[in-house]
Amino acid sequence: MRTSASPLVLAVALAFPAAHAEEPSTLGTVSVTAKGYAADDLETPLSTTSLDRAELLRRNAQNLGEALRGEPGLAVASDGAQGQNPVIRGLKKESVVLLVDGMRVNSAQPQGAIASFMTLGLADRVEVVKGPTSVLYGTGALGGAINLRLPQASFEPGVGAEATAAYDGSSNGLRGSALAKAAQGDHALMVGASVARIGDYSSPNGKEALTGYDSDALIGQYRFRIDAAQQLRVSVQQQVDTDVWYPGSKKAHPVAPAVVGNTIVHSPRQERQLLEAGYNRKGSGATPLNLDVRAYRQSVERQIWSFSDKQNAEKAKTRVTFATDGADARAEWLLNPQHLLSFGANAWRMTASPERYIAAAPAGSALLRNDPFNNGRIDAFGIFVQDDMRFGKLNVLAGLRHDTVEGRADSINNGATTAGLARRDSAASGSLGLIYEVAPLLRPFANLSRGFRAGEMRERFESSPRGDGYHYLGDPQIRPELATQFEAGLKGSADRLQYAASAYRQRITDYITGQPTGAVVGGLPVKQTINLGSVTIRGLEASVRRQIAGSYWLSAAYSQVRGTNDAQGEPLFQMPADELSLGWEGAVAQAWTADATLRLVKRQDRVATVFSRGSENATPGFGTIDMGATWRYAKAQSLRVALKNLADKAYHEHLAEGVSGQEMRAPGRSLQLTWQGKF
Higher pLDDT, 569 or 611: 569
Residue 430 maps to a domain: yes
Q: Residue 317: what pLDDT?
A: 93
User: 36 falls in which pLDDT band (50, 70, 90)?
Assistant: very high
Q: Residue 466: what pLDDT?
A: 65
189/159 Cα distance (integer angstroms): 10
DSSP summary character for residue 572: P
Residue 503 maps to a domain: yes
Are the C-beta atoms of residues 402 and 428 closer than 8 Å to each other? yes
First to last CA, the chain: 27
Query: In 333-358, which positions are buried (b, 16+ CB within 10 angstroms) versus exposed (e)?
Result: bbeeeeebebbbebbbebbbbbebbb
Q: For the CA atoms of 82, 87, 90, 93, what is the dihedral angle to 10 degrees?
A: -80
Q: Looking at the 3D structure of the chain, how many domains does it have?
A: 1
Q: Residue 192: what pLDDT?
A: 98
User: 19 falls in which pLDDT band (50, 70, 90)?
Assistant: very low
Lowest mean pLDDT, pick from 98-112, 338-352, 362-376 = 98-112
* Among 81, 20, 61, residue whose Cα is nearest residue 235: 20
Q: Residue 299: what pLDDT?
A: 93
For the stretch 295-315, pLDDT in tens is: 999 999 999 999 999 999 998
Q: Which residues touch 264 (CB under 8 Å, ≥6 apart)?
A: 210, 245, 246, 247, 249, 250, 306, 307, 309
On the question of pLDDT at 614 being above 80, the answer is no
The arithmetic mean of pLDDT across residues 252-281, rounded, is: 91
Residue 1 maps to a domain: no
418/182 Cα distance (integer angstroms): 54
Residue 248 maps to a domain: yes
Positive/negative CA dihedral, 409, 272, 106, 76: positive
439/18 Cα distance (integer angstroms): 28
Are the C-beta atoms of residues 356 and 370 closer than 8 Å to each other? yes
Residue 416 maps to a domain: yes
Share of the chain above pLDDT 70, in %: 94
**CA 251 to each of CA 9, 93, 171, 310, 450: distance values in angstroms, whole numbers, following the listed order:** 57, 22, 24, 12, 39
352/304 Cα distance (integer angstroms): 14
442/497 Cα distance (integer angstroms): 11
604/662 Cα distance (integer angstroms): 17
Q: Residue 660: what pLDDT?
A: 75
Positive/negative CA dihedral, 135, 137, 138, 140: negative
For the stretch 393-417, pLDDT in tens is: 999 999 999 999 999 999 998 999 9
621/163 Cα distance (integer angstroms): 38
624/601 Cα distance (integer angstroms): 9
On the question of pLDDT at 464 being above 80, the answer is no
Residue 531: what are its φ and ψ, rounded to 5°?
-95, 110
Range of the domain at 49: 7-678
Report the predicted TM-score, pTM, of the whole model to 2 decimal places: 0.93
Q: Residue 359: what pLDDT?
A: 86
Category of 197 on φ-ψ map: left (φ > 0), alpha (ψ -120 to 50) or beta: beta
User: 109 falls in which pLDDT band (50, 70, 90)?
Assistant: low
Q: Residue 363: what pLDDT?
A: 66
Give the CATH number, domain containing residue 280. Answer: 2.40.170.20
54/275 Cα distance (integer angstroms): 28
Lowest mean pLDDT, pick from 129-143, 281-295, 457-471, 652-666 = 457-471
98/115 Cα distance (integer angstroms): 7
DSSP summary character for residue 647: T
Q: SS3 for 212? A: coil
DSSP summary character for residue 120: G
On the question of pLDDT at 6 being above 50, the answer is no
* Among 567, 543, 457, 580, residue whose Cα is nearest residue 93: 457
The arithmetic mean of pLDDT across residues 78-85, rounded, is: 86
Residue 531 maps to a domain: yes
Question: Mean pLDDT across the chain, nearest whole number?
Answer: 91
The full length of the chain comes to: 679
Residue 2 maps to a domain: no
Residue 70 maps to a domain: yes
